[in-house]
């Protein structure tokens, strides 16, 4: 089973994503000025960024971001309906539901919001002196005292967006390819939005996306693929 899994499509993408995460991390650690250069592309001066305080920003903060909790509630309800109806109405197996829940809980939940955002302490672009704030810039991964809670590294919004890749992973054929493409485009659009509002550095968004994909692939292999082969 292990040999079959090792050469499976998911293992290939897992190895590729892990390699990309390591390489990107090394680049951002050794060349931290990349974050400042990219953030400067969105900076308009006077502590303002391309989309900060724009209609898009106000709409996202007032309606979209607060509605995430309702989306979670809807998904939990659908999952419960599938479990209690034994897959009659929704058709999601308990194993698949466990995979989705674990992907969001471990990726955006524990790893991103529970650990990295709370313990790295990195200030956001809009808060550092280079862009009109009063905080000091710190490179990715390096613990800092410039932020006490809900800090810049890494992006929780981007991690949450990319975690939706867990849904198309359960599909097959053309639907799976289209679903993966839609999720990747969705994650990239959220990353661009967070960059353009001065809320995150490039490394915050790139590492967040890669970590979410990495967690999703690991959870899929452990819960879905391995179990299917054992059956």
DSSP string, 87-105: TSSS---HHHHHHHHHHHI
pLDDT of residue 100: 92
Alpha helices, DSSP H only, in the chain? 2-6, 9-30, 33-42, 55-59, 65-84, 94-104, 117-119, 156-163, 173-196, 202-219, 226-230
Phi first, then psi: what are they for 48, rounded to 5°? -120, 145
Structure tokens at 146: 């410039």
Per-residue pLDDT of the chain (231 residues; tens, 9 = 90+): 344 444 457 788 999 999 999 999 999 999 999 999 999 999 999 999 999 989 999 998 888 888 877 888 888 888 888 877 776 667 778 888 889 999 999 999 999 999 999 999 999 999 999 999 999 999 999 999 999 999 999 999 999 999 999 999 999 899 999 999 999 999 999 999 999 999 999 999 999 999 999 999 999 999 877 655 455
pLDDT of residue 4: 42
Could you count the other beta carbons within 10 Å of the beta carbon of residue 75? 15
pLDDT of residue 79: 81
């Amino acid at each position: 089973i292990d040999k079959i899994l090792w050469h499976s499509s998911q293992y290939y993408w897992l190895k590729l994503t892990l390699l990309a995460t390591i390489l990107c991390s090394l680049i951002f650690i050794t060349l931290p000025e990349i974050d400042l250069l990219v953030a400067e592309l969105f900076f308009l001066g006077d502590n303002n960024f391309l989309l900060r305080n724009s209609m898009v920003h106000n709409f996202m903060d007032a309606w979209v971001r607060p509605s995430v909790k309702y989306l979670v509630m809807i998904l939990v309800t659908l999952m419960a309906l599938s479990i209690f109806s034994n897959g009659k109405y929704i058709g999601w197996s308990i194993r698949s539901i466990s995979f989705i829940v674990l992907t969001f809980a471990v990726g955006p939940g524990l790893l991103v919001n529970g650990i990295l955002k709370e313990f790295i302490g990195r200030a956001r672009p809009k808060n550092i002196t280079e862009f009109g704030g009063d905080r000091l810039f710190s490179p990715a991964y390096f613990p800092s005292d410039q932020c006490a809670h809900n800090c810049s590294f890494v992006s929780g919004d981007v991690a949450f967006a990319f975690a939706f890749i867990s849904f198309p992973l359960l599909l097959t054929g053309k639907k799976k390819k289209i679903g993966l493409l839609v999720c990747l485009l969705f994650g990239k659009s959220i990353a661009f939005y967070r960059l353009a509002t001065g809320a995150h550095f490039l490394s915050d968004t790139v590492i967040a996306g890669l970590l979410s994909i990495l967690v999703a692939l690991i959870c899929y292999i452990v819960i879905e693929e391995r179990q299917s082969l054992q059956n």
